[in-house]
Amino acid sequence: MVALFLGSHALYNFDQRKRKPTPTHLAFVYSPLQNFQLELFLSPVFVIAYFSPVHRGLYNQRCYSSVTLFEDSVLHVNVEGADTEALYVCTPGKVPIMESVTDVLQAAIDWASLAFEAPFARADVFGVHIGGHLFVEGLLFVVIFYLLSQKSYKPPKRPLTDKEIDELCDEWTPEPLIPVLPEEMQCEPPQLESAAGPHTIISGKEVVNLASANYLGLLGHKKLLDSCTSSLEKYGVGSCGPRGFYGTIDVHLDCEARIAKFLGTPDSILYSYGLSTNFSAIPAFSKKGDIIVVDEGVHWGIQNGLHLSRSTIVYFKHNDMASLQRILEKITVEKKRAKEIRRYIVIEAVYQNSGQIAPLDEIIILKEKYRFRLLMDESNSFGVLGHSGRGLTEYYGVPIEKIDIVTAAMGHSLAAEGGFCTGSARVIDHQRLSSSGYVFSASLPPYLASAAISAIDVLEENPNLITKLKENVALLWAGLSGLHGLKIVSNPHSPIVFLKLKDSTGSLKSDLQLLEDIADQLLREHNVFVVVSKRSTLDKCPLPVGIRLFVSAGHSQADLEKVCESLNSVVPSVLNNRR
Amino acid sequence: MITIPYLTALTTYFSYGLLFAFGQLRDLFRRIIDRWNSSNLQGYAPICLGLEDFYIRRLYLRIQDCFGRPIASAPDAWFDVVERYSNDHNKTLKRTDKIRRCLNLGSYNYLGFAAADEYCTPRAIESLKKFSASTCSSRVDGGTTTLHAELDECVAKFVGKPAALVFGMGYVTNSAIIPVLIGKGGLILSDSLNHSSIVNGARGSGATIRVFQHNTPSHLEKVLREQIAEGQPRTHRPWKKIIVVVEGIYSMEGELCKLPEIVAVCKKYKAYVYLDEAHSIGAVGKTGRGVCELLGVDTADVDIMMGTFTKSFGSCGGYIAGSKQLIQYLKYTCPAHLYGTSISPPAAQQILSAIKVLLGEDGSSRGAQKLARIRENSNFFRSELQKMGFEVLGDNDSPVMPIMLYNPSKIPAFSRECLKQNVAVVVVGFPATPLLLSRARICISASHTREDLARALEVISQVGDLVGIKYFPAAPKKEHQEDKMVKLD
C-alpha cells in the first residue's frame, strides 16, 4: 500500500515536459506484489492514481500504453511512440534524495513481507492458494468493514433525570388563562325586553331597531309564529340527536326541499347554525394542497373554514376584480399541476364587513376562464336581492347552476336560525357524511325549520316585501347622504348600510370607541338602536370598522327619517367633542 | 381498552378487505364506462377526489338506510320512524307516508325533555310569542334579550361557576372558544377520543396539539412531564400555557371521565382543565350537575366548563362557564358571541324551564324523579345486557352504552333486524369509530318505562342471537360461579 501510494505520488510528479515516465520517478513504484494490475484495481490508491490528473493525462497523451510490473521490482512500461519497449529495472535506495524515505519504506516492506511469509499466509484453502496480497487485502477489507460498521459520531444522549424534570415542572409558570381585561371590556350590550323586531324595548323605552338583520321584517310574522307553535307542540324544542342518528325530522327534509325548490337547485342541506355552515362546508370540499382564492373582507365563519381546510389560501383585494384576475392568472401560470387540484373562489354576495355587493357577472367570467369553482355565501342577500329574493344570482341574472356551492345563514332575512348549503346533488350528498358541522352536531330544532319553510312561503307570496326593503334602503341613503364625518361605503342595493369614519383616528381601538360613543348616544338620547361592527381578536379582516345599519322592510318611513335625523345631529356633535 | 377477539378481528379485516376489493372492482368498471362517455369536467379537478369518497360510495351507501332515518314525531321514548324505500340499490332513499312506531333507543333524550313537557313547552311557546323565534342578531349587537341574560345567570348557578355564557350551537361553542383561549406557543393536550368539535377548535387555534391515551391520567402525566421539560418544538421555549381537554362522558364509549385523577394531575403541573360536558350535564350526578357532582370534583378546580343543551335539556346550543373575568373576556373576543346569531328565545326558555324542573323550582319533584329514573334505567339496562353476554362498554351510571358489533356486516344486520321489531337503535361504524370497532349505541332515557326496557332487552337479545354478537357467555353461569365463590368464602 505504502509503495503504491508513493508510486502514484511519483507518477503525479512526473515530469510533464518530457511526458515520459523516467526511471527516477518510477523507481518508487516498488511493490513486492506479483500482479500490479490486480493490485491497482483492488486498492483505493488505484482510484487516486487513476483519477489524479497527471496519471489520467498520461493515458490521454498515450505516453504509455501499458504498465506492467514484474516480479522483483521490474517495471515494464510500454511507451507508445518509442522505438522499443523500455524496461525499467529499479530498486529502492538508488534515489539519493529520497534515501531516508525509502529506508522507512524498506522497513515497512520488510515487516509486511514478514507477515506474508508467515506460515498461514501461504496456505491452500480448498485448493485456493492464499497468497500474501490476498492476506493483506483480507485485512484491508476487515478494516474497511470495521470502519463502515461504526456509527457516525453522535454526542452521547443524556436524558433528563426525573429530578431534573421535576425541577423544570416546578419552575414552569404558565401565562394566565386570559389576559388582564382592559377597562373598555367591561361594558355590556343593551338588553332587549321584547322581540328584536323593527321596534324593540330597551330599558323600558321603545327604540327603532337597526341592529337585527331582520331584512324582510318577518320576525314576529303571524304565519311564522303559528308554524313554530304547532311545531313546538308536535316535536318539542330540540331534536336530541345528530342528523344521522334519528335527529332527522320530516320538517328538516321538507325545509331542504323547500329551499332547493325556491332557488331552483337539485338539493340542499340544513345546518344547525349559520356560523357553522361555512366552516363545515369549506373543509368538506377543499383539503391540503387545494387552492382557495378568497376576498380579504370575508367574515369569520369563512375565515375559520379556510383555516380548517388547510388549503393554500390566497387573498385578493376586497371586491377588486383586477386583483382577482391577477391572482387567478398567476396561479394558473405558476402552478403546473393546477389542472389536477381543486381550485375555488370564495366570496360573499353581500359582505357583512362592508355592505359591498360582489360583482358576480365579472366573477363568473373570470371563474369560467380560469376554471375555478365558486363558493358564495348568500347570508345577507338571500331573500333580499333580486326581484323575488332569490339572491345575487337573480340580481345579476346568472343561472344558479354556475355557482358550485351556495351557503347562507337563515338567521337573517328568514328570521329563523341555522344555515343551509345548496348546489348539485353530488355537492350536497358529499356533505352529508363529510361535513363535520353536519355529521357531528345535533340537528336544527324542528320549529326553526318550520319557521324557515313558512318564511319562504311568505316571501314567495309577498314580493312587495323586497320592494319595501329597497325603498327603505333608498330612503336611508337619501337621508344620510349629507352626513358629516361618516361615509356610506356599502352598495346602494345592500340591506346593510355601512357607515365608515371619514377620517380614521389611526387606530382600530380608538375608532371603535368613537363609533361606540355615537351608538351609545343614539340609543340613550334618540331611541335609535344601531350597532358598531365589532372585531374578534381572531378575525383577520383588514377592512375598517364602522356603524352597521340593518334596514328592514318592517321599518316605516317615519322610523327611517328619525334615524337619519338622529344620526345627522349626533355624529357631528360626538366628532366635534372629540376634537 | 377494547380487546377484540382474534378470530373476530380476522373476520372483520376479511370483510373490509372484501368490501374494498369489490368497491375497487366496481370503480374500475366505472372508470372504463366513464372513458366511454366524454368527461364533463371541462378542465376542473373532480370535486370529490377518488379515494376521498370511496368509503361513502362503496361502503356507506350500501347500508345508508341504517342512518339518518327520518322521524315524524318528537324524539320521545316512542317515536314514529318514517319508512323509506330505494329503487337504485340504496343510492337514494325516498320517503313514504308509512310510519313505524318504534321504541327510541337512539336519541340523546336523557331526561325526557325532548317531547312536549307539561312545564317547559307552554313556557317555550310563551317566549316564542314574546320574543319571536330568532333575534336575527348576534349577542353583542341586538341579540341579548332579558331571557338570554337570565339564562346565562341560571346556567352559571346550575353548573356551579361564577359566570356562564350561552351560545347558539354546541359544536360552535367548542370550535370557537378554544382558539380564543390559546394560540401559538400554547399546548393543547387532548384525549384521544375527544369529539370532532374539540378537534376542530384545537386545530383552529394554531396551538400545538398532543394527544394522550383515552382516559388515562398516568399517560397524561407522562406527556405533561415530557412536554413541560421539552418546551415548544424547535425553539424549546417554555409553553405559554397548557390546556387539557377532556369530556365528561365519551359519547361513543359511554365511559365517564376519570376527572378526579386528571384534575389532580393538571393541578400538579399547572395545566388548565377544559371539561366538555356535552353528554354528562343534566344526565348524571345527584342533582344533574354532571360529572363533577357525580365524581366529587370541586367545580373550582375545573377552569373551563363547557356543555350543551341538545341532550338532557332537549333544546339546542351550548354554554361555557368559568370565572367572571373569563366570561367577560369571551364576550369581547369569542367569534361565536360576536358573529353568531344568538340562541333562539324558545330554545333558551326551554333550557331555563328544564333547569328549573331539575332543581325542583317548578314546585314538583319531577326533576328528582327523572334523575333517579335515568340512573335506575341505565344501570338496569346495562347489567341486563351484560348478563345476556353482550360486550357492553362504558361505566355504571352512564346512560350511553355501546354494544360491540365488530364485523361491518353486523352493522346493518343489527339495525335492520331491530327496526323490524320496532326498536330503533343507533349503529356506528367508521369514521366515527376505529375501523374494527363498529358498535351499536343505546341511549337510555328517563322517559323509558320498565316495560319499554324489558321489551327492548327481549328484542336485542333475539337479534343478538341472530346476528351473533353475544361475545361473552351468558350470565347465569357467571352468577353461578359467583355464588359458589361466595359460598366458599
Residues A8 and A107 in one domain: yes
Given a cut of 50, whether residue A271 has pLDDT beyond it is yes
What is residue A90's predicted lDDT score, i.e. its pLDDT?
42
The answer to whether the Cβ–Cβ distance between A238 and B176 falls below 8 Å is: no
Domain boundary, last residue among A413, A438, A461: A461
**CA triple A182-A185-A186, angle to 5 deg:** 105
Tell me which of A101 and A241 has the higher pLDDT.
A241
Sign of CA dihedral A353, A357, A360, A362: negative
Residue of A188, A219, A276 lying closest to B172 (CB–CB): A276
Assign A484 a pLDDT band (cuts: 50, 70, 90): confident
Contacts of residue B39, Cβ cutoff 8 Å, sequence gap at least 6: none
Tell me which of A70 and A178 has the higher pLDDT.
A178
Assign B50 a pLDDT band (cuts: 50, 70, 90): low
What are the residue boundaries of the structural domains of chain B, listed by start? 6-104+369-476, 120-359
- From chain B, the residues in CB contact with A174 under 8 A are 239-242, 270-272
Mean pLDDT of A264-287: 90
Q: How close does chain A come to B85, measured CA to CA in Å?
A: 15
What is residue A371's predicted lDDT score, i.e. its pLDDT?
87
Residue of B132, B145, B146 lying closest to A219 (CB–CB): B132
Residues A200 and A264 in one domain: no
Please check whether residue A159 lies inside any domain of the structure: no
Contact (CB, 8 A) for A29 and A92: no
Given a cut of 60, whether residue B230 has pLDDT beyond it is yes
Tell me the per-residue pLDDT of A426-451, one tens digit each, with 9 for 90 and over: 889 888 888 888 988 899 999 999 99
Fold entry, domain B120-359: Aspartate Aminotransferase; domain 2 (3.40.640)
Please check whether residue A244 lies inside any domain of the structure: yes
Give the structural domain span for A11.
2-116
Contact (CB, 8 A) for B185 and B232: yes
Tell me the per-residue pLDDT of B340-358, one tens digit each, with 9 for 90 and over: 899 999 999 999 999 999 9
The chain B residue lying nearest A341, using CA atoms, is: B45
Mean pLDDT of B50-69: 83
Residues A275 and A381 in one domain: yes
- From chain A, the residues in CB contact with B41 under 8 A are none
B371 is written with which cell numbers?
A: 334523575
The answer to whether the Cβ–Cβ distance between B136 and A442 falls below 8 Å is: no
Q: Which of A65-79, A357-371, B154-168 has the lowest mean pLDDT?
A: A65-79
Given a cut of 90, whether residue A2 has pLDDT beyond it is no
Please check whether residue A156 lies inside any domain of the structure: no
- From chain A, the residues in CB contact with B269 under 8 A are 169, 172
Mean pLDDT of A455-477: 91
Residues A345 and A372 in one domain: yes
Contact (CB, 8 A) for A548 and A498: yes
CA distance A63 to B402: 88
- From chain B, the residues in CB contact with A191 under 8 A are 144-146, 148-149
Residues A542 and A408 in one domain: no
Q: What is the mean pLDDT of chain B?
A: 88
- From chain A, the residues in CB contact with B56 under 8 A are 429-430, 433-434
Tell me which of A414 and A125 has the higher pLDDT.
A414
Residue A289 forms contact with B (CB below 8 Å): no
- From chain A, the residues in CB contact with B95 under 8 A are 250, 253
Tell me the per-residue pLDDT of A6-35, one tens digit each, with 9 for 90 and over: 444 444 444 444 444 444 344 334 444 444
Please check whether residue A151 lies inside any domain of the structure: no
Assign A79 a pLDDT band (cuts: 50, 70, 90): very low
What is the DSSP code string of B109-132?
-TTS-SS--TTHHHHHHHHHHHH-
Domain boundary, last residue among A441, A461, A481: A461
- From chain A, the residues in CB contact with B144 under 8 A are 188-192
Fold entry, domain B6-104+369-476: Aspartate Aminotransferase, domain 1 (3.90.1150)
Tell me the per-residue pLDDT of A522-538, one tens digit each, with 9 for 90 and over: 998 999 999 998 888 88
Residues A474 and A400 in one domain: no
The answer to whether the Cβ–Cβ distance between A219 and B270 falls below 8 Å is: no
Residue of A176, A304, A373 lying closest to B47 (CB–CB): A373
Residue of A417, A429, A442 lying closest to B344 (CB–CB): A417
Residues A439 and A535 in one domain: no
The answer to whether the Cβ–Cβ distance between A240 and B71 falls below 8 Å is: no
A-B interface: how many C-beta pairs under 8 angstroms?
371
- From chain A, the residues in CB contact with B108 under 8 A are 240-241, 442
- From chain B, the residues in CB contact with A175 under 8 A are 240-241
Assign A364 a pLDDT band (cuts: 50, 70, 90): very high
Tell me the per-residue pLDDT of A538-578, one tens digit each, with 9 for 90 and over: 888 888 889 999 999 999 999 999 999 999 998 888 888 87
The chain B residue lying nearest A371, using CA atoms, is: B44
What is residue B248's predicted lDDT score, i.e. its pLDDT?
92
The answer to whether the Cβ–Cβ distance between B107 and A240 falls below 8 Å is: yes
- From chain A, the residues in CB contact with B132 under 8 A are 195-197, 219-220, 224-225, 415
Q: How close does chain B come to A467, measured CA to CA in Å?
A: 20
* DSSP, res B94: E
Q: How many structural domains compose chain A?
A: 3
Assign A48 a pLDDT band (cuts: 50, 70, 90): very low
Residue A447 forms contact with B (CB below 8 Å): yes
What is residue A18's predicted lDDT score, i.e. its pLDDT?
44
Q: Could you count the other beta carbons within 10 Å of the beta carbon of residue B108?
A: 30
Please check whether residue A261 lies inside any domain of the structure: yes
B345 is written with which cell numbers?
A: 328565545
Residues A422 and A473 in one domain: no
What is the DSSP code string of B410-476?
HHHHHHHHHHHTTEE-EEE-TTTS-TT-EEEEEE--TT--HHHHHHHHHHHHHHHHHHT---S--HH
Residues A440 and A301 in one domain: yes
What is residue B156's predicted lDDT score, i.e. its pLDDT?
93
Q: What is the mean pLDDT of chain A?
A: 80
Contact (CB, 8 A) for A358 and A376: yes
Given a cut of 80, whether residue A96 has pLDDT beyond it is no
**For testing the chain A interface, which of B102, B126, B134 should be mutated: the one with the most A CBs within 10 Å?**
B134
What is residue A21's predicted lDDT score, i.e. its pLDDT?
46
Q: Is A247 helix (H, G, I), strand (E, B) or coil?
A: helix
What is the DSSP code string of A278-312?
HHHHHHHH--TT-EEEEETT--HHHHHHHHHHT-E
The answer to whether the Cβ–Cβ distance between A531 and B426 falls below 8 Å is: no
What is chain B's Cα-based Rg?
24
Tell me the per-residue pLDDT of A388-411, one tens digit each, with 9 for 90 and over: 989 999 999 999 999 999 999 998
Given a cut of 70, whether residue B331 has pLDDT beyond it is yes
Residue A440 forms contact with B (CB below 8 Å): yes
In terms of DSSP bridges, do strands B423-424 and A405-409 run parallel, antiparallel, or are they unpaired?
A: unpaired
What is residue A467's predicted lDDT score, i.e. its pLDDT?
92
Residues A251 and A325 in one domain: yes
Q: Is B287 helix (H, G, I), strand (E, B) or coil?
A: coil
Mean pLDDT of B173-179: 90
Residues A354 and A446 in one domain: yes
The answer to whether the Cβ–Cβ distance between B44 and A250 falls below 8 Å is: no
What is residue A97's predicted lDDT score, i.e. its pLDDT?
52
Tell me the per-residue pLDDT of B369-401, one tens digit each, with 9 for 90 and over: 999 999 999 999 999 999 898 989 888 889 999
Residues A274 and A374 in one domain: yes
Assign B307 a pLDDT band (cuts: 50, 70, 90): very high
Residue of B82, B124, B240 lying closest to A237 (CB–CB): B124
Q: Could you count the other beta carbons within 10 Å of the beta carbon of residue B82?
A: 19
CA distance B313 to B370: 12
Give me the CATH number covering residue A371.
3.40.640.10
Domain boundary, last residue among A116, A134, A164: A116
**For testing the chain A interface, which of B141, B320, B357 should be mutated: the one with the most A CBs within 10 Å?**
B141
What is residue B445's predicted lDDT score, i.e. its pLDDT?
92
What is residue A120's predicted lDDT score, i.e. its pLDDT?
57
Assign B27 a pLDDT band (cuts: 50, 70, 90): confident
Closest CA to B138 of A449, A298, A531: A531
- Asked if B6-104+369-476 and B120-359 have one fold, the answer is no
Percent of chain B whose pLDDT exceeds 90? 50
Given a cut of 70, whether residue A42 has pLDDT beyond it is no
Given a cut of 90, whether residue A358 has pLDDT beyond it is yes
Residue of A178, A192, A534 lying closest to B145 (CB–CB): A192
- From chain A, the residues in CB contact with B312 under 8 A are none
Residue A192 forms contact with B (CB below 8 Å): yes
What is residue B116's predicted lDDT score, i.e. its pLDDT?
85
Would you tell me which residues 154-183 of chain A have a C-beta closer than 8 angstroms to some C-beta of chain B?
Answer: 160, 164-165, 168-169, 172-179, 181
Please check whether residue A572 lies inside any domain of the structure: yes
Please check whether residue A141 lies inside any domain of the structure: no
